[in-house]
């Protein structure tokens, strides 16, 4: 399956807000509320059994955080990226840990690193970070303990 | 320090909570596992990771592309070469660099040697986990030889920094191939020796067969990869399923287990070493002459874009997700590490077994903590 | 002479640890004192020449009973993290029982004709091995009590198993 | 020279002659006889203890050398010639280290545990015949005494586990108690079979019973194997080292112990190993008997033969799991030992 075919297949059942091709891989933007349904569709109908990872990328210039879901199909060796655009101020997205168990820990990590709330997550505890550090992977994060080097 | 969910509620009179770690001989690093026990039987388990989180992803955002490779060494210090590979492959893909044929073969050879190194260390550590103190010395006898070979090539024994963007810093050593040949000639026998010493031991089979059974669907659902997934009977190996570099040219088998129990995971790793030796033999025979490094611009500035490259490391799928904005530094890097997902399945397969099984199962997952914590 | 000194030493040990045993607030310490008391008794058996009895005393009472006791204490108290204080609610019945026991022992000691008994037992021991005497007695004169006690113990064993297994079923 | 030979080969006679000679002298001085007996016994006990402690040090060295041999490495080779003084140096290090007492321990149990383990271990050697007539005290109930006294160390281990106030220690102590109690039963049954064959519980009697016939290892081969397995389990060595399983329970019941108290555990462990091997040698391998060499040499040769077997097992096998440990004892060893006993009794009777 190439980029176009997969896109068509997703479009038959679900709405794709926007799509682009990046080095041969489909990047499809999905509506926030739909993510769990689309993930289930990817897994059950399109046979993308593996969720490689969930992460986020911060774009302060657009005031957006994009949540990235990377899927891989063992049968066809295709990859698909689903993306969700979130408002930086109130980043909240439904969890897909009910569909993919592996999303559990990946969502916890993305949650503490980017300050995204995954609503409906069974245990949205801290995973890697100690208490007191808030969303360090956002571009505007300043470490309070860090003193910048003097300009030479 | 996170409290396990069952620590909040009242536990029954017969149960108690045991903290395994953060300092414990068999967590292989700084990992804490909270166990809820009834006598010796595990009734609850909660892994607490992050003790050595060092925010590698954030650091990488402030480093130039060529400065990041050594960081990937330190994610998984046991199969550093494979981790280099995923990273440099990401940059090469973004920049469209085509590697010379010789460099590809050299990469395959180093990566397979690295896999053997990692599996040998796992074998020793697993022996220690189940109380056999002798196997480590036999495995390290061969591991030293492999390390010496890689050291001769890269100068490093643990964190090699073997790959550069576009190829290698130097060519293979003159005597590399002869040493490799000498090593491979006896390695097959040595694997049989390891199996006789530990894997096929009566006590060990009694302790591992039927313990920690991980079925296929659960494994895939948890994103488990590598030997653990193959132990559950899935013939999935990125070298075969999504061949990168020149792996499609080699003839090797994807080793799988049948029952998905702890013993199958051990056996898969032992077989994988055999297959690695097979690949090494072929690669040494097919190694072409020529350049060992592509022409790479002095300043590395990939075009804006995103890429996800993944390799089959000794522990499973290691992937690098990279977003470039066209500057000298990556905009965002995410490392997808195999142990992260492999550990998350621990709870699923451990409940109901004994304390000693937790140790054996964890050993069979072959965890490396720095790549979980990053 | 040495025997006498040792006897008094062990008697003192028995009394001392027995007193500590009943006054200890910590059940685990109590178990340790119990072991020490029983050990003293075994030593006195040995001093009086009943080596077999002494060995059995150590093997059964310390090696098995006290170990079982400590095992239970460990299982029920420490792991759960709670440490209940020992209560002395049964102090009056306990006193009465101990007084009765003391009277019984004193009466028994006074009524026994020690001179002839000692002579008899010494003659017997010298004639035969101490262990052999016990063995012969158990299988001849005391065969029926021996068997009865065995059956009783067996019943107790089976009863214990039955109780435990019923608990398990109820739990599940 | 003749005296030395007499002492080596037939120790009982010269020793008792020496004793009565001393008695005569002391009586001449007007000293009471019991005092002399007391001093005599004290000297014997001290001598045996000294030999045993030195021997334990040597066994530690021996074990390490055997492990090195099996693990293709050299083993201790720095302190003294061939590293012979290594364990001595280790002991000195342990003795001068700071004695750490964790905050929440139970002082009484924590302090008394090493003693409860250490003292019985050495007291047991009282009845062991090292040579012809070379028995500190040849009790009638010799072998029963050994079984009874070794059983005491369970209390020490439990006290150590409980007193440390550490869950790992506690689990280790519990495992140890369960293990020792369940392996004691097949062991006792096997010993009973030997007692049946020799007709006495006296250690010297058991040795004597093997002098005119074959060693008991031949008729009691099954018993010998069961004894070795159960004995190995009693001394908590791999594959039965669950009480101190490092990879599971950190160090089990001695997790919190350090310095002198740890050295006590360590010495007791190796003395126990020696004891089990010595009892095995006495019960099954004919004790001190053997041609050409003096009895005491034979005793040590046989004991070290058994020690070597146990070391070999230790450095080859992985550890077994706790439920398998119990299962092995109750489902396999115990029926086999019972069968062994019944068959022995039937054969002896008819």
Residue D322 pLDDT exceeds 80:
yes
Q: Do C81 and B13 touch (CB under 8 A)?
A: no
In-domain check, residue D18: no
- Helix/strand/coil for B240: helix
pLDDT per residue as tens digits for the range D196-218: 888 778 888 788 788 777 787 77
Residue C2 pLDDT exceeds 80:
no
How many other CB atoms are found less than 10 A from the CB of residue D343? 13
In-domain check, residue C125: no
Please tell me which residue of chain B has the smallest CA distance to A69.
B321
Which residues of D are less than 8 Å from B25 in CB distance?
246-247, 250
Q: Which of D167, D248, D317 shows the shortest C-beta gap to B132?
A: D317
Cβ contacts of D308 within 8 Å, gap of 6 or more: D66
Average confidence (pLDDT) over B150-176: 85
> Mean pLDDT for chain D?
83
**Per-residue CA distances from D218 to A46, C56, D196, D222, D230 (Å):** 71, 29, 15, 9, 19
In-domain check, residue C5: yes
In-domain check, residue D146: yes
Q: Which of B57, B321, B374 shows the shortest C-beta gap to A70?
A: B321
Q: How far is D334 from chain B (nearest CA, A)?
A: 19
Residue C80 pLDDT exceeds 60:
no
For tokens 């019972």, name the residue: D338
Q: How far is D123 from chain C (nearest CA, A)?
A: 13
Distance CA D182, CA D330 (A): 7
Distance CA D285, CA C52 (A): 25
Q: Do D318 and B132 touch (CB under 8 A)?
A: yes
C:D CB pairs within 8 Å: 91
Give me the pLDDT at residue A152, please. 65
Q: Do C28 and D161 touch (CB under 8 A)?
A: no
Do at least 3 CB pairs under 8 Å connect C with B? Answer: yes
Which residues of D are less than 8 Å from C74 in CB distance?
158, 161-162, 170, 173-174
In-domain check, residue C132: no
D322 shares contact with chain B (CB less than 8 Å): yes
Give me the pLDDT at residue C172, please. 45
Distance CA A27, CA A82 (A): 6
Q: How far is B218 from chain A (nearest CA, A)?
A: 8
Which residues of C are less than 8 Å from D165 in CB distance?
78
Contact (Cβ atoms closer than 8 angstroms) between residue D322 and residue D182: no
Contact (Cβ atoms closer than 8 angstroms) between residue D197 and residue D209: yes
A7 shares contact with chain B (CB less than 8 Å): no
Residue B240 pLDDT exceeds 90:
no
Q: Do B308 and A52 touch (CB under 8 A)?
A: yes
pLDDT per residue as tens digits for the range B287-300: 888 888 888 888 88
Distance CA B72, CA B161 (A): 8
Cβ contacts of B8 within 8 Å, gap of 6 or more: none
Please tell me which residue of chain A has the smallest CA distance to B332.
A57
Please tell me which residue of chain D has the smallest CA distance to B359.
D248
Please tell me which residue of chain C has the smallest CA distance to B10.
C80
Please report, for the domain that includes residue C83, its CATH number.
Answer: 1.20.120.1200
Q: Which of B129, B141, B201 shows the shortest C-beta gap to D317?
A: B201
In-domain check, residue D5: no
Beta-strand pair A117-119/A50-59: unpaired
Please tell me which residue of chain B has the smallest CA distance to A141.
B58
Q: Which of B25, B40, B206 shows the shortest C-beta gap to D247?
A: B25
Contact (Cβ atoms closer than 8 angstroms) between residue B165 and residue B88: yes
D151 shares contact with chain C (CB less than 8 Å): yes
In-domain check, residue D311: yes
What pLDDT band is residue C96 in, cutting at 50, 70 and 90?
A: very high
How many other CB atoms are found less than 10 A from the CB of residue D155? 27
Q: How far is D136 from chain B (nearest CA, A)?
A: 39
What tokens does D286 get? 């004919």
pLDDT per residue as tens digits for the range C30-66: 888 888 898 888 888 888 777 788 888 888 888 888 8
- At what angle are helices D334-349 and D221-234 packed, to 10 degrees? 140
Give me the pLDDT at residue A13, please. 76
Q: How far is B50 from chain A (nearest CA, A)?
A: 4
Beta-strand pair A64-72/A79-87: antiparallel
Q: How far is A72 from chain B (nearest CA, A)?
A: 10
Do at least 3 CB pairs under 8 Å connect B with D? Answer: yes
Task: Find residues 165-224 of chain D whose CB sits inside 8 Å of chain B.
Answer: 167-168, 171
In-domain check, residue C47: yes
In-domain check, residue C147: no
Give me the pLDDT at residue C135, please. 79
Least confident of B198-212, D10-24, D296-310: D10-24
pLDDT per residue as tens digits for the range B268-294: 999 999 989 989 888 888 888 888 888
- Distance, CA of C168 to chain centre: 31
Give me the pLDDT at residue C154, please. 93
DSSP state of B3: P
Tallying the residues shown for chain A, one arrives at 152
D64 shares contact with chain B (CB less than 8 Å): no
In-domain check, residue D21: no
Residue C79 pLDDT exceeds 50:
no
DSSP-assigned beta bridge partners for residue A71:
A51, A80
Q: Which of D171, D241, D250 shows the shortest C-beta gap to B24?
A: D250
pLDDT per residue as tens digits for the range C116-168: 666 566 555 555 566 777 778 888 888 888 899 999 999 998 988 888 776 55
pLDDT per residue as tens digits for the range D228-241: 888 888 888 878 88
Contact (Cβ atoms closer than 8 angstroms) between residue D128 and residue D280: no
D67 shares contact with chain B (CB less than 8 Å): yes
C71 shares contact with chain D (CB less than 8 Å): yes
Contact (Cβ atoms closer than 8 angstroms) between residue B159 and residue B74: yes
Contact (Cβ atoms closer than 8 angstroms) between residue B68 and residue B60: yes
Beta-strand pair A92-94/A117-119: parallel
In-domain check, residue D22: no
Give me the pLDDT at residue C104, please. 93
Q: Which of C26, C63, C79 shows the shortest C-beta gap to D170?
A: C79
In-domain check, residue C165: no
Q: Do C81 and B16 touch (CB under 8 A)?
A: yes
**Would you put residue D206 in left (φ > 0), alpha (ψ -120 to 50) or beta?**
alpha
Average confidence (pLDDT) over C9-23: 87
Which residues of B are less than 8 Å from C80 in CB distance?
13-14, 16
In-domain check, residue C160: no
Cβ contacts of B362 within 8 Å, gap of 6 or more: B26, B27, B28, B33, B129, B346
In-domain check, residue D245: yes
Task: Pick the closest to residue B238 from B111, B77, B72 (CA basis).
Answer: B111
In-domain check, residue C98: no
Q: According to DSSP H, which parts of chain D are helical?
A: 2-9, 12-29, 33-70, 86-96, 107-123, 142-163, 167-198, 203-212, 221-234, 246-249, 259-284, 295-314, 322-327, 334-349
What pLDDT band is residue C82 in, cutting at 50, 70 and 90?
A: very low
pLDDT per residue as tens digits for the range D54-72: 888 888 888 888 888 888 8
Please tell me which residue of chain B has the smallest CA distance to D73.
B137
What tokens does B178 get? 């002869």
In-domain check, residue D7: no
Give me the pLDDT at residue C103, please. 93
Average confidence (pLDDT) over A92-119: 86
Q: Do D184 and C63 touch (CB under 8 A)?
A: yes
Quote the number of domains for chain D.
Answer: 1
pLDDT per residue as tens digits for the range B27-77: 777 888 888 888 788 888 888 888 888 888 888 888 888 888 888 888 888
C79 shares contact with chain D (CB less than 8 Å): yes
Structural domain boundaries enclosing C37: 1-87
What pLDDT band is residue C81 in, cutting at 50, 70 and 90?
A: very low
What b/e readout covers D300-309, taking b as 16+ CB neighbours within 10 angstroms? bebbbebbee
Distance CA D145, CA A146 (A): 71
Quote the number of domains for chain C.
Answer: 1
- Helix/strand/coil for A25: strand
| D246 vs B302 pLDDT, higher one | B302
Residue B221, classified by CB atoms within 10 Å of its CB into exposed (0-12), middle (13-18) or buried (19+), is buried
Structural domain boundaries enclosing D308: 32-349
Average confidence (pLDDT) over B103-124: 89
B137 shares contact with chain D (CB less than 8 Å): yes
Least confident of A84-93, C21-30, D73-82: C21-30
């Amino acid at each position: 399956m190439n980029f176009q075919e997969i896109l068509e297949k997703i479009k038959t059942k679900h709405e794709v807000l926007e799509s682009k091709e990046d080095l041969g891989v489909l990047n499809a933007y999905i509506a926030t509320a739909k993510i769990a349904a689309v993930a289930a569709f990817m897994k059950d109908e399109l046979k993308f059994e593996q969720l490689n990872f969930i992460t986020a990328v911060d774009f302060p210039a657009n005031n957006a955080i994009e949540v990235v879901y990377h899927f891989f199909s063992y049968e066809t060796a295709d990859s698909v990226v689903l993306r969700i655009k979130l408002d930086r101020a109130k980043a909240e997205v439904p969890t897909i840990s009910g569909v993919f168990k592996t999303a559990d820990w990946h969502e916890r990590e993305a949650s503490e690193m980017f300050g995204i709330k995954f609503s409906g997550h069974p245990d949205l505890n801290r995973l890697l970070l100690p208490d007191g550090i808030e969303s360090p992977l956002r571009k505007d994060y300043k470490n309070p303990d860090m003193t910048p080097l003097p300009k030479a | 320090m996170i409290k396990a969910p069952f620590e909040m509620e009242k536990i029954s009179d017969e149960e108690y909570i045991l903290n395994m770690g953060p300092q414990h001989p068999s967590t292989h690093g700084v990992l804490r596992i909270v166990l809820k026990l009834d006598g010796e039987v595990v009734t609850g388990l909660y892994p607490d990771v992050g003790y050595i989180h060092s925010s590698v992803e954030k650091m990488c955002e402030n480093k130039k592309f060529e400065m990041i490779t050594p960081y990937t060494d330190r994610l998984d210090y046991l199969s550093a070469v494979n981790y280099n590979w995923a990273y440099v492959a990401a940059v090469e893909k973004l920049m469209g660099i085509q590697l010379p044929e010789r460099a590809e073969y050299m990469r395959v050879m180093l990566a397979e040697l690295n896999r053997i190194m990692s599996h040998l260390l796992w074998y020793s550590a697993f022996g220690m986990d189940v109380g056999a103190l002798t196997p480590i010395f036999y495995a390290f006898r061969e591991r030293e030889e492999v390390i010496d070979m890689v050291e001769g090539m890269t100068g490093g024994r643990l964190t090699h920094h073997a790959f550069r963007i576009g190829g290698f810093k130097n060519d293979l050593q003159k005597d590399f191939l002869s040493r490799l040949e000498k090593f491979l000639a006896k390695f097959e026998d040595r694997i049989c020796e390891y199996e006789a010493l530990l894997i096929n031991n009566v006590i060990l089979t009694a302790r591992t067969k039927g313990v920690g059974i991980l079925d296929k669907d659960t494994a895939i659902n948890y994103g488990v990869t590598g030997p653990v997934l193959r132990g559950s009977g899935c013939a999935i190996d990125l070298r075969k399923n999504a061949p990168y570099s020149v792996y499609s040219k080699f003839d090797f088998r994807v080793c799988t287990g049948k029952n998905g129990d702890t013993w199958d995971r051990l056996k898969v790793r032992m077989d994988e070493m055999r297959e690695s030796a097979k690949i090494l033999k072929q690669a040494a025979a097919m190694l072409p002459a020529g350049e060992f490094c592509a022409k790479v611009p002095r300043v590395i500035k990939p075009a804006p874009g995103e890429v996800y490259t993944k390799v089959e490391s000794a522990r499973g799928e290691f992937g690098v997700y990279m977003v470039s904005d066209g500057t000298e530094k990556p905009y965002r890097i995410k490392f997808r590490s195999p142990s992260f997902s492999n550990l998350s399945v621990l709870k699923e397969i451990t409940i109901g077994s004994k304390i000693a099984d937790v140790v054996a199962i964890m050993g069979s997952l072959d965890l490396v903590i720095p790549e979980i914590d990053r | 002479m040495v025997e006498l000194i040792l006897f008094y030493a062990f008697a003192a040990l028995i009394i001392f640890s027995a007193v500590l045993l009943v006054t200890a607030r910590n059940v685990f310490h109590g178990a340790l004192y119990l072991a020490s008391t029983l050990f003293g008794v075994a030593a006195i058996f040995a001093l009086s020449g009943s080596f077999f009895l002494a060995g059995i005393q150590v093997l059964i009472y310390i090696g098995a009973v006290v170990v079982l006791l400590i095992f239970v204490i460990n299982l029920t108290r420490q792991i759960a993290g709670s440490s209940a204080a020992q209560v002395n609610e049964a102090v009056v019945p306990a006193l009465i029982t101990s007084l009765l026991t003391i009277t019984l022992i004193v009466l028994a000691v006074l009524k026994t004709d020690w001179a002839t008994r000692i002579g008899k037992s010494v003659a017997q021991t010298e004639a035969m091995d101490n262990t052999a005497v016990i063995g012969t007695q158990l299988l001849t004169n005391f065969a029926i009590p021996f068997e009865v006690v065995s059956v009783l113990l067996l019943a107790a064993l089976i009863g214990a198993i039955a109780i435990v297994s019923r608990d398990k079923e109820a739990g599940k | 020279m003749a005296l030395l030979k007499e002492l080596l080969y037939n120790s009982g006679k010269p020793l008792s002659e020496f004793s009565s000679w001393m008695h005569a002298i002391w009586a001449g001085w007007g000293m009471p006889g019991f005092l002399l007996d007391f001093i005599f016994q004290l000297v014997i006990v001290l001598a045996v203890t000294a030999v045993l402690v030195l021997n334990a040090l040597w066994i530690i060295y021996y074990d390490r050398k055997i492990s090195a041999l099996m693990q293709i490495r050299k083993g201790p080779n720095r302190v003294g010639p061939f590293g012979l003084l290594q364990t001595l140096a280790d002991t000195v290090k342990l003795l001068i280290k700071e004695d750490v007492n964790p905050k929440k321990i139970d002082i009484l149990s924590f302090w008394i545990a090493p003693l409860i383990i250490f003292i019985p271990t050495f007291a047991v050697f009282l009845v062991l015949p090292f040579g012809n007539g070379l028995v500190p005290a040849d009790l009638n109930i010799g072998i029963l005494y050994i079984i009874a006294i070794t059983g005491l160390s369970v209390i020490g281990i439990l006290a150590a586990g409980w007193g440390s106030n550490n869950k790992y220690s506690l689990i280790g102590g519990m495992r140890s108690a369960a293990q020792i109690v369940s392996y004691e039963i097949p062991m006792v049954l096997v010993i009973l079979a030997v007692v049946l064959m020799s007709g006495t519980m006296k250690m010297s009697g058991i040795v004597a019973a093997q002098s005119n016939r074959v060693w008991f290892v031949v008729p009691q081969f099954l018993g010998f194997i069961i004894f070795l397995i159960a004995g190995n389990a009693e001394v908590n060595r791999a594959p039965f080292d669950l009480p101190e399983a490092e990879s599971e329970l950190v160090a089990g019941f001695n997790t919190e112990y350090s310095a002198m108290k740890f050295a006590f555990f360590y010495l007791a462990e190796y003395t126990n190993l020696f004891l089990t091997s010595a009892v095995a040698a006495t019960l099954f391998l004919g004790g001190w008997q053997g041609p050409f060499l003096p009895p005491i040499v034979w005793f040590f040769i046989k004991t070290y033969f058994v020690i070597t077997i146990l070391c070999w097992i230790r450095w080859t096998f992985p550890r077994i799991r706790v439920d398998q440990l119990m299962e092995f004892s109750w489902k396999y060893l115990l029926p086999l030992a019972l069968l062994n006993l019944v068959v022995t009794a039937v054969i002896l009777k008819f």
